[in-house]
């Protein structure tokens, strides 16, 4: 899921058609003055990545997953 300032911009639930960070970076670089986050909810781990600059995404939160 891609968020901008806490609002969901894109959400995908199908692994086979999952988007890459390159796509998220291309969306975020067009409007960089926001809090961009990618949230990955997996069965064993949840990770939230925050954009800190061009091509710089940092893991800022980690959880136990949903299984």
* pLDDT digits (tens), the chain, 67 positions: 999 999 999 887 655 566 788 989 999 999 999 999 999 888 899 999 999 999 999 999 999 988 7
Q: Where are the domains of the chain?
A: 2-63
pTM: 0.85
**φ/ψ (deg, to 5) at 27:** -70, -45
Q: What DSSP string runs through 35-65?
A: -EEEEEE-SS-EEEEEEEETTEEEEEEEE--
59 HSE (CA, 13 A, CB side): 7
Q: What is the pLDDT of residue 48?
A: 97
For residues 1 and 34, give the distance between their C-alpha atoms in angstroms, rounded to a whole number. Answer: 16
């Amino acid at each position: 899921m891609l968020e901008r300032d806490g609002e969901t911009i894109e959400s995908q639930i199908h692994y086979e058609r999952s988007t890459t960070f390159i796509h998220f970076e291309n969306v975020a670089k067009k409007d960089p003055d926001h809090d961009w986050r990618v949230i990955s909810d997996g069965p064993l781990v949840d990770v939230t990545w925050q954009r800190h600059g061009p091509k710089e995404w940092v893991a800022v939160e980690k959880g136990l997953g949903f299984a």
